[in-house]
């Protein structure tokens, strides 16, 4: 009965609208501290953008999460753009990690052995310029704040 009243984060993204989107590394681990992991993020953004699947207006990469302001333009095949992004980056992360590092991301699941991204990515629709600027300010100031 209590599950009926649990708050859930909104992660649905409507194609063609601008969103502030946050994705977090599983268990808030600081996987994104090293440049090679940041480059994977950038590579995925660049690829999806060149395919016109995604317009990126702003982003920040923190040690354990990312924030973006973006618009998805169409599905990437049968997948959502954010789904393609999360899947691609996870596969690339796995290639860079040693077995001792991979163990921190182990997941005993039918469809995967590792989980790099938390399942509750957050999407906030930026429905007015004021809301967009508020989130842009947050994104710019995020690296400067103590967590």
In a domain, 4, yes or no: no
User: What does each C-alpha distance from 17 to 64, 72, 79, 125, 126 come to in angstroms?
Assistant: 26, 7, 17, 7, 8
Q: Strand 122-125 vs strand 65-72: parallel, antiparallel, or unpaired?
A: unpaired
In a domain, 8, yes or no: no
The answer, yes or no, to whether residue 147 has pLDDT greater than 80, is: no
pTM across the whole model: 0.87
In a domain, 102, yes or no: yes
| DSSP code for 144 | G
In a domain, 78, yes or no: yes
pLDDT tens per residue, range 51-107: 999 999 999 999 999 999 999 999 999 999 999 999 999 999 999 999 999 999 998
Q: What residue numbers bound the domain in which 106 lies?
A: 17-144
In a domain, 6, yes or no: no
The answer, yes or no, to whether residue 1 has pLDDT greater than 60, is: no
In a domain, 73, yes or no: yes
CATH no. for residue 134?
3.30.70.1290
When divided into structural domains, the chain yields a total of 1
Predicted local distance difference test score (pLDDT) of residue 28: 95
């Amino acid at each position: 009965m209590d599950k009926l009243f649990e708050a859930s984060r909104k992660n649905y993204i409507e194609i063609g609208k601008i969103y502030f989107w946050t994705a977090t590394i599983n268990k808030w681990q600081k996987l994104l501290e090293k440049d090679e992991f940041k480059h994977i993020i950038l590579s995925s953004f660049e690829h999806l953008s060149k395919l016109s699947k995604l317009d990126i207006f702003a982003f920040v990469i923190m040690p354990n999460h990312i924030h973006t302001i973006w618009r998805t333009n169409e599905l990437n095949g049968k997948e959502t753009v954010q789904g393609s992004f999360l899947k691609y980056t996870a596969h690339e992360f796995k290639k860079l990690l040693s077995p001792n590092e991979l163990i921190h991301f182990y997941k005993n699941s039918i469809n995967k052995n590792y989980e790099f991204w938390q399942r509750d990515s957050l999407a906030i629709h930026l429905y007015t310029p004021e809301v967009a600027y508020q989130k842009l300010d947050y994104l710019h100031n995020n690296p400067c704040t103590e967590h």
